[in-house]
Structure 1
Amino acid sequence: MNTPAHLLIGAAVMGKKGNRAVIWAAMAGALAPDLSLYLLAGGSLYLLGISPRVVFDELYFSDSWQTVFAVDNSFLLWGAMLAFALWRQMPLVVAFAGAGLIHLCLDFPLHHDDGRAHFWPLSDWVYESPYSYWDRGHGAHLIGPVEGALSAAAAVRLWLWRPGLLIATTAAILLMAELWITWIWIFVFSQ
């Protein structure tokens, strides 16, 4: 899934009406599994001047980058964090870890040839789904509208909570970004 969808869905599922800190914690948790990609790709593209082809066709699939992705996309690590937070009754960490786990559960079936080793450190196995959230050749034209609808429903849920201007505006910006990204994947890159 696209990152804005993860943030909206994570906040809507793991956030709590009337508790802005928990909503922000859920958004942070939903972002965390993608953060390393943004840092690695952004640093490579904008600081080191490496071409997008090298970044996304070579570096993305390199052992070093895949190791980083395995750590921050591990069901085992996120599950352990959630279990600990539930045991210790830490609502912010429950929201953070729960949203991170939701992110992984949504990504797992939607990465065709660019998945992650979700069972690290026990296994380096990467599931190659027949579906992709971005590749039209693997159903993105069908998945994209569903992702957009789920994102819109999540944004509406957040707005109905009346979380304050900052969170409401953030949800609106994320929804616009999600719909824009979905449109680009479906109608621009897939033709």
Structure 2
Amino acid sequence: MVLCSTRVSGIPEHEVFSTLFFSESWQAVFAVDHSFFVWGSLLGLALWRRRLILRAFAGAGLLHALADFLTHHDDARRQLWPVSDWVFRSPVSYWNPQFYGEAFGMFEVALVVGLTSFLCWRLERWRDRALVLAVAAPLLVPVLLTGSLHGLHGM
């Protein structure tokens, strides 16, 4: 939604992150795609049907919802939708410096560097290593080029 708004529709990033992001329509989408119940049900279905790809997809969605649950403060999601509209406001924000965003950014970069190094060390085929590096690059390259964590999350 952010990419489509900023790159396709040409809406300035500050407007997306200050207005659209908090609008009722965007929050309704976030409630569905961050719901523990939606992802948990999909994971249960995948396990029951023994579908490996669906299990990986649903597991990744559930893991993402959990990570967001723990790292969103003023932009928190409704992870208990459709059962509840309650929102947990984490004491940690992955981007907002008022809630340890800079410290979390350093942790995030260190985690990516560590896991990328570990995977490249463990993987034998150059193609596999290249894939790992390609996935890590969008996070690491801006930090390496600018020396700043500011551009990590498009903020």
TM-score bracket for this pair, using the shorter chain length: 0.7 to 0.9
Structure 1 unaligned residues grouped into runs of 5+? 1-39
Query: Aligned-residue CA RMSD in angstroms?
Result: 2.6
- Of structures 1 and 2, the one with the larger relative CO (CA 8 A, separation 6+) is 1
CA contact (8 A) 2:105 2:149 kept: no
- Give the one of 61, 75, 87 matched to 1:126: 87
Aligned to 1:184: 149
Aligned residues: 150
Identity %: 38
Give deviations 1:66-120, integer Å, cap 9, x for gaps: 1111111111111111111112221111111112111111111111101111111
- Give the corresponding residue for 2:55: 94
Rounded Cα–Cα distance in structure 1 between residues aligned with 2:60 and 2:124: 18
Q: 1:153 to 1:84 in 2, by over 3 A?
A: farther
- Taking structure 1 as the reference length, the TM-score comes to 0.67
Q: In the TM superposition, what are the counterparts of 1:54-69 in structure 2 within 5 Å?
A: 54-69=15-30
Question: Gaps (5+ residues) in structure 2?
Answer: none
Misfit runs of 4+, over 6 Å: none
The equivalent residue for 1:51 is 12
Residue 56 of structure 1: CA displacement? 1.3
Partner of 1:32: none
Q: Normalising by structure 2, report the TM-score.
A: 0.81
2:75 paired with 1:84: no
Return the structure number with greater helix share: 1
